[in-house]
Structure 1
Amino acid sequence: MRQTRAMTTFPFEIQARDGAARTGVLKTSRGDIRTPAFMPVGTAGTVKAMYMDQVEQAGADIILGNTYHLMLRPGAERVKRLGGLHKFSGWKGPMLTDSGGFQVWSLSQLRKMDKDGVTFRSHIDGSEHRLTPARSIEIQADLLGADISMQLDECTDFPCSHEEALRSLELSLDWGQKSLDAFGVRETQTLFGIIQGSNFEDLRERSAKGVVSQGFGGIALGGLAVGEGHEQMCRTIDMTVPHLPDEKPRYVMGVGKPIDLVESVARGIDMFDCVLPTRAGRHGQAWTWDGPINLKNAKFAEDLSPLDEAVNSPASNDYSKAYLHHLMKAGEYLGAMILSWHNTAFFQALMADMRAHIAAGTFEARRTELSLRWADTKSAPKPT
């Protein structure tokens, strides 16, 4: 595998370990990212139903934007003319962008893959578009202005055959090199590579070694949160992490539920993203230290207790379950806003809790406690 010329790698300082779990800081020009880190998903330039200052106050150091959605609407060139995605959205901290490959796989119509890229029709209006490794990098790094860009890759269905997973990972390795070539050397931006290989151990090893050899600034595990379930997700991480460098950040894409996050951190993962906090909030679900609750349930109609007093957020403390039940039953927008705010704060509180326990050397005990508490939630979320 040909290795690209040296690229910018953000300083990553691991500050403490407990078993395979680790806590540290990834330093960017727009601020430090405390790891383990959960990135709220700002797909179309917004974390749904939230103001950016609420996202920041909830404890998020970094958010995620999406190439596919923004290239279709309002258009990446327009975002560039309007000052880039940070200025356009009002988010001042670091931002990572998805390459668009996952959304092409899951949302687009009539996609046609070839060795150089993918041609697809928009799920919005049916218009035809072309995405290549170089075009994905142009959109992410040049037009949107992402601090961390992702290589273009191909995500396979789950389950898939060994032959199909091999073809996909080889294509993704080729696209990874082309993404690196297009990215070049940048002073304040970096690029992460993506490992594929479905649930096949030999292919995960092959993909991991290939991606590592290419010299990315960070390594992501792709092809998860596609219906494989919690146990298979954990097994896939187990078979991949031994082949990753210790000194670079590790990112599991699209994961997940709180128990997924805890078990992934226990296996040495540093970064996550998922639509779950705000999607759940829009549907009346709140995640708490005692597990998820459905505020549409009639039992909350006269419950004056707050969502979760252990979460340091106005959304978690200042509104009763009875009031939120009323808002959701009445179809009031405010209900989804408060629940999305609370869920985002809860996920950030979980990350802070894990960082603290790793630093104190008590993570394994905390992991056991939370695994028992959330044993009935062990399933990966459905893809976007």
Structure 2
Amino acid sequence: MLEIKNNTNKYQIIDFTWPNGYYSDGLHAGLRKVKKDMGWIYSEIPAQAAGTYTTNQFQAAPTKLTKQTINQDHQLQAIIMNSAIANSCTGHQGELDALATQKLTAAKLGISPELVGVASTGLIGENLPMDIIKNGINQLELTDNTNVTSAVLTTDKHTKTISVQLNIDDKIVTISGFCKGSGMIHPKMATMLGFVMTDANIQDGLLQQILNTEVDSTFNQITVDGDTSTNDMVVTMANGMANNQELTTDSQDYPKFVSAFHEVLSQLAQDIAEDGEGSTKLVEVNVHNAASHSDGQKVAKAIVGSNLVKSAIFGEDPNWGRIVAAIGQTDATVDIEHTFIWLNGLSLVEDSHAADYSEEEMKQSLSNNKITIDVDLNSGSESGQAWGCDLTYNYVRINATYKS
């Protein structure tokens, strides 16, 4: 167990576990050849719910349905998901299939359809084989296993999970999250599904506020390939079964909870960036002394999103001109005569000129699995952060044969 300290806020990262009152399952229903392809998450009681959704104009039927469902009463009790068929660009039939999936799940669990969210990922443009969907739902059980965390994966190389615990009013509160995402990843949501469950008791409406803020600084600060998809969402549920006093913005422990919630989303976001399709390296960019937080975030995203920067990192080539070019393409305020860049702590650029560095040492540093780029814009006191990965030959191979 690792204790993380954030100023006066303390929480612990623990082995992945479900918070009080949550159950799940995942299985191979037959939508895919071999891998698990369906799963669900369920709360004993209706939970406060919040969501953020893809900005792609071709928003998929299950994504729209879940958004509508949450917006009704900001409550969910279950989420059903599949990782093979996106049910996107499928017209009216796709909407009917999403509704049918919602109703079948509700009937199996004995709850109202208005308490069921629906999530899908996979191929765009294909209709759901509803006989397989129905059979899969009938086979799902309420267990404490973690099969659902692998049932949501597509081209991901591994599951992405995290659990954090903290003490609120002498009650142990757990926040657990899992997600999928590897390709079609870019800021403002991407081909990723994220689910965060907590047993915290939170004031009505506050969960959406927290999620919006934290998604902006985590999931919206990653990029793999610059593409956004049609099905993406992050949904969080809070069932209150930790029995802590209701958290409000005035609560003494509110900053502690937000800090722990941020940790969950931040780690999941970094896991997606690290697991980018074909990637070999996680890239973290930290921008310092920006004129505004917006400028810092903008510059960080521009660097991790540059295909030239990503290619140089894959080739272990310290071509800092590509980083400077990426910064200059933004409209951020930059002191163009006094910009500084470091790579894994090694000085690369000083006062907008090449630093006196060892090519051999720099190339050796670029062989690491994680590359950290620090940039000083010398224009203020704000900061920004983003994550991405390198661009490899394998990315093209994976996406050239995705459907076949």
Greater helix fraction, Structure 1 or Structure 2? 1
Structure 1 length-normalised TM: 0.29
Q: Which has the larger radius of gyration?
A: 2
Greater strand fraction, Structure 1 or Structure 2? 2
